[in-house]
Structure 1
């Protein structure tokens, strides 16, 4: 079965899935394969569950009488149908990538633009070579703007995602120490993320640029860009300096009070405001969208308890985001405890980076420092304020018997550490 035939079938029903546990009636099932699964084996089940067709890439599972059709590669077929639907949609696409803050920025942009437009945006973190096609194929026909998050842990991945999503506008949140193992160092991160700029440049599209970031400015000098910043740029957004755990900004004399903590979120908020202004929202609409947004999914999330406060920032972690979280947390009033989990995908620099973070925690003067995971266990930094645990379970046992609460508790670590589950213990 060719792409055009699958696409015509898709346009009739507009439902796709790669998971037989989530089959909807008249959906198209794409059989994907991984290290530990083979979707081809579930093609018959998909049809029985109500799929209108199943797309397989192993001949033995083909059965046209049951609408089980063969293609050379199931993933490529999914991506090609997504490309066809993207070209079918005549609406602006905004593409986002970066080392830190992608998901928060995406949600802030969507929350803002939704005050005027029907917006469809990446759900959760479905931002890879499978998630981006699924996101595009889930866009309703009445959508007016699409916001697509693109993640990557190696070079050429953003390039691929751009060929699928074909963004009209792009924004790179920052270039930091994330996925160093796959990218081959910070320079590799810059090159890999800048594949978004390469696409925008080649296709005469437009980048949103934070003028406070020298790399963004340098990489976009030779093509269309929309700029924003504190002191310069087409859109000026000013941080309001005050003693508060939550960020506030000012735009043209209008105060916008956010539900976000951390100065590192200022650029994320600024981008959403700049996009709102570019897409002709009023400042009142922008203010309402930003102020109504509350972070979830354990990203810069403040959880109030009766006698203490938890800053849950455990969705992910790398040296750049860890450093920013520690710096922000150091400004909180009262006693402070940090619970830090391992950072993954750092390759040869892992030992150095974990030691750096442990040192920073000591230098900020936090009252108690708990380091969790195999990488932090290997750190050589010593202090009577540091306690190390091989895993989360060992720390949970400690919490139940000996943990002393501070006024403020920061929880930060890579998602694989699942430190978000500590909220149940606390």
Structure 2
């Protein structure tokens, strides 16, 4: 984590007004949350539309904060405490993070895309740490505040930093890449996520390609080469950076071929490397592509294939993304963090490919943030679901009801159920569950279907009696 004197912090953050007697105080890390602040951290209160962190300065001081940044126009409470004034604390933390990143002689890899950012981050960090001291984005801290916080958590001596970059509007990734200044960049894919805010697929392409604006002049750019539109845009840019592609098309540098789909993951080979078989302990073809993107970057940084194979087996994956949960009764495939048409199709394909289960159940919630065609997208998914691959389909949410409506005519009677709420959903699932089943749970984050996952986990671990939810 960042450790600097307040005099250094004032300069790095573009601040002013620090009293001279406080200049040599050393801060150890930063926090924007007074609830979790620890001793000697710099408190950076953020002001939003419905909240103002400045109101919690007294708690931060009581809990050990060493100093605080402070919006110059916000009234200051009467206390003798080290304060650095700034025009805006959000801008200041971004400046501080950028300056800190520039002081660290590490390599940074930035990752963006509509799907697969977090999984690719986790896989790549697992590969790099077999050779280098590596830091990665924690959880989903991938926005205009999360990326600065991630950078400021990096310890001196770190050799590699894997930083996830998300966005909700045009210009956001340009900001993030200007802070992180990546030596390598990955675009995992371009899909329908963010259509609600960005309106068109063209705008999504534009937003994701912003990552290149901060990429080092002779850095590496890795992207999904099967996307013809993305490929055409990149060719038109005449980039100076080294470009590496992955996918199935013969023009790609890295082309994976599945050798085995297993309950605990997927094994694959790469073109021209038949003597290497890679085992990824994650489910789905889409995760294989995420792994291949990570392999491309790892090879660029001279990680051997033997270390890559070792690293793949030790991936520390973020929860609720293709997470297999085994209970004595059945298995849950928890993919409840997000959902959009591309990721949902990939999850269903993963479910279809799993063998040796007595029963397959899909539990699907609304796909949010996919724009004006959201009803059509849900109907399309419903029409595509294969009744020969799924025994029961349960949906929750007004949009997901369209999935049920389109799927129901092709399923046996009572095999498709549209549920009113999570309690009703749990009751209906438990009614039909058999020992040896697998249940896919997938929805957008707002549905919080991890509550359903937790209930099913407890039910699966309860071998004495069936819990009543009615």
Instruction: Return the TM-score normalized by structure 1.
Output: 0.92
**Does 2:392 align with 1:368?**
yes
1:275/1:204 CA distance change after superposition, 3 Å = closer
Alpha-carbon distance in structure 2 between the residues aligned to 1:81 and 1:319: 38
Match of 2:207 in 1: 192
Name the stretch that deviates more: 123-132 or 8-17: 8-17
Deviation at residue 328 of structure 1 after TM alignment: 2.4
Question: 258, 270, 274: which one pairs with 2:296?
Answer: 274
- 2:271 pairs with 1:241: no
How big is the shift at 1:247?
Answer: 1.1
SS for the counterpart of 1:60 is coil
More helix by share: 1
- Pick aligned residue for 1:395 from 409, 414, 425: 425
Rounded Cα–Cα distance in structure 2 between residues aligned with 1:399 and 1:89: 52
Q: Distance in 2 between matches of 1:396 and 1:6?
A: 55
What is the aligned partner in structure 2 of residue 140 from structure 1?
155
Q: Could you tell me whether the CA contact under 8 Å between 1:128 and 1:161 is conserved in 2?
A: yes
Q: Could you say what secondary structure the match of 1:247 adopts?
A: strand
Which one of 2, 14, 24 corresponds to residue 38 of structure 2? 24
- Supply the distance in 2 between the matched residues of 1:126 and 1:10 (Cα, whole angstroms): 30
Counterpart mapping for 1:119-138 below 5 A: 119-138=134-153
Matched with 1:257 is: 279
Task: Give the CA deviation at 1:36.
Answer: 2.9
Q: For residue 363 of structure 1, report the CA deviation from its aligned partner.
A: 5.5
Q: Which runs of 5+ in 1 are unaligned?
A: none
**Partner SS state of residue 65, structure 1:** coil
Per the TM alignment, residue 289 of structure 1 is displaced from its structure 2 partner at its CA by 0.2
Aligned with 1:7 (options 12, 29, 40): 12
Match of 2:361 in 1: 337
Q: Structure 1, residues 322-375: CA drift from partner, whole Å, max 9, x if none?
A: 111112222222432100011111232221112222222255652211011132
**Which whole-Å CA distance do the structure 2 matches of 1:47 and 1:279 have between them?**
43
Q: In structure 1, which of residues 149, 162, 178 is the aligned counterpart of residue 164 of structure 2?
A: 149
Residues 2 and 187 from structure 1, CA distance in 2 versus in 1: closer, same or farther, beyond 3 angstroms?
Answer: farther
Normalising by structure 2, report the TM-score.
Answer: 0.84
Matched, 1:225 2:242: yes
1:118-157 deviation per Cα after TM superposition (whole angstroms, max 9, x unaligned): 0111000000011000001111011001111000122111
Cα distance, 1:266–1:214 mapped onto 2, change above 3 Å: farther
Measured against aligned partners, the alpha-carbon deviations of 1:254-290 in whole angstroms (never above 9, x if no partner) come to 1121111111112111012112211111211111001
Is the contact between residue 56 and residue 62 of structure 1 (CA under 8 Å) also seen in structure 2? no
Output the CA distance in 2 between the equivalents of 1:138 and 1:296.
Answer: 18
Q: Residues 34-45 of structure 1: matches in 2 within 5 Å?
A: 34-45=48-59
Aligned match of 2:433 in 390, 404, 424? Answer: 404
Contact 1:108 1:293 in 2 (8 A): yes
Aligned partners of 2:299 and 2:63: how far apart in 1? Answer: 46
Structure-2 residue corresponding to 1:310: 332
RMSD over aligned Cα atoms = 2.5
> Within 5 Å, which residues of 2 pair with 1:103-114?
103-114=118-129
Q: Give unmatched runs, 5+ long, in structure 2.
A: 1-5, 14-22, 457-470
Distance 1:130 1:390 in 2: 36
Question: How has the CA–CA distance of structure 1 residues 59 and 266 changed in structure 2, closer, same or farther, with 3 Å as cutoff?
Answer: same
Number of equivalent positions:
424
Task: Say whether the 8 Å CA contact 1:227–1:233 is kept in structure 2.
Answer: no
- CA distance in structure 1 between the aligned counterparts of 2:40 and 2:12, rounded to whole angstroms: 14
